[in-house]
Amino acid sequence: MRAVQFSEFNGIEALKLVEIADPVPEAGEVLVKVTAAGLNFFDTLVLRNKYQFTPRLPASPGGEIAGVVEALGEGVGGLAIGQRVMAHTGGNGCRERLAVRASRVIPIPDGVSDDVAAGVSVTYGTAMHGFKDRAKLRPGESVAVLGAAGGAGLAAVEIAKLMGARVIAVASSEEKIALAMRHGADEGIDYETCDLKTTLKARTAPDGLDVLYDCVGGDAAEPSLRALGWKGRYLVIGFASGEIPRLPLNVVMLKGCDVLGVFWTAFVEREPEAHRANMVEVLNWCQEGRLAPHVHGTFPLAETADALTLIQERKASGKVIVRPQE
């Protein structure tokens, strides 16, 4: 089968299209013919060995997939050959077939495309975990999303809106804000043209911001923290800016606010049933038309490097999908 792999940590340039042996599912695994693989910002970090874990080489990017079950390993029940499924795999999605633990596989409802299903595990799963499990978001609360036009940001906008929040999209251009508003944001802030702290405070006066969803880090972090209200919640999602901020703890103390880590990968491993329940809810919302995940573009397997370059250069709005069978 074909796969896009890297054998050294040299960034996107290390990716090569190669032929490798087809996998065979072991006990407790299913063999999935991969029809769509979702790419994320963390893939660009893994390629440079800058992420929280180091994969065994050679490896492929793509931490979430959709496809069709082709074979069942020993002891696997509740799934059938030919069934459409999606899964969070952590990596190796950019290949034509992949053996996946059956416990990670979730059936795709009718009416939900493979492209959509391949793109909801990480971004929508993270948003669900962040708002539902960590922030305990309540209807009527205010939420600001930093990096609101990216894949993670748009997912956060949509999930927060479905949970009844008033959503403020924070992005670097009016075009990006318009995209976020088409996906449910109530209003937007272009942080390139204003003082972010002052503007966020004004938009959420007199009580201040309830929840901050930060996928960006960098220079936007501290001004956003200072806009939080009493007992606000700062959700630490990631650092797309490339800079991990240092937050002033005196502000945290004075506001009585919480800084909450949202490490979705560890959540999936430690609380698999809670993760599964979140993903079933997301897929049902997609089937009902209440969620409309935005796919920026789809790419054949041979163009995986081009797809990842879009993400690395922060030019992608929504999800970027690789289709290994094309």
Q: What angle do CA 16, 22, 24 make, to 5 degrees?
A: 135
Tokens of 290: 């209440």
Residue type, 88: H
- Per the DSSP assignment, residues forming a β-bridge with 189 are 170
Query: Angle of helix 174-182 relative to helix 151-162, nearest 10 degrees?
Result: 40
- pLDDT tens figures, 31-47: 999 999 999 988 999 99
227 close to 197: Cβ distance less than 8 angstroms: yes
Residue 178: count of CB within 10 angstroms of its CB = 14
Dihedral class, residue 28 (left if φ above 0, else alpha if ψ from -120 to 50, else beta): left
Residue 310: count of CB within 10 angstroms of its CB = 16
E runs forming strands in the chain = 2-5, 16-19, 29-39, 64-72, 84-88, 97-101, 105-107, 142-146, 166-171, 187-190, 209-214, 228-236, 258-261, 295-300, 319-323
Which class in CATH covers the domain with range 123-265? alpha beta
Residue 126, pLDDT score: 95
What does the domain layout of the chain look like in residue ranges? 2-119+294-323, 123-265
What DSSP letter does each residue of 66-91 carry, written as one string? EEEEEEE-TT--S--TT-EEEEE-SS
Residue 317, pLDDT score: 74
Residue 62, pLDDT score: 96
**Percent over 70 (pLDDT), the chain:** 100
How far is C-alpha 58 from the geometric centre of its chain's CA atoms?
A: 24
What DSSP letter does each residue of 81-147 carry, written as one string? TT-EEEEE-SS--SBSEEEEEGGGEEEPPTT--HHHHHTSHHHHHHHHIIIIIIS---TT-EEEEET
**Helices and strands: H and E segment counts in the chain:** 11, 15
The backbone torsions φ and ψ at residue 166, rounded to the nearest 5 degrees and listed phi first, read: -95, 120
Residue type, 307: A
23 close to 98: Cβ distance less than 8 angstroms: yes
112 close to 101: Cβ distance less than 8 angstroms: no
Q: Which fold has domain 2-119+294-323?
A: Quinone Oxidoreductase; Chain A, domain 1 (3.90.180)
Whole-number Å distance between alpha carbons of 121 and 321: 13
- pLDDT tens figures, 129-170: 999 999 999 999 999 999 998 888 989 999 999 999 999 999
**Percent over 90 (pLDDT), the chain:** 79
Residue 110, pLDDT score: 94
With cut-offs at 50, 70 and 90, classify the pLDDT of residue 314: confident
- pLDDT tens figures, 202-217: 999 999 999 999 998 8
The pTM of this model reads 0.87
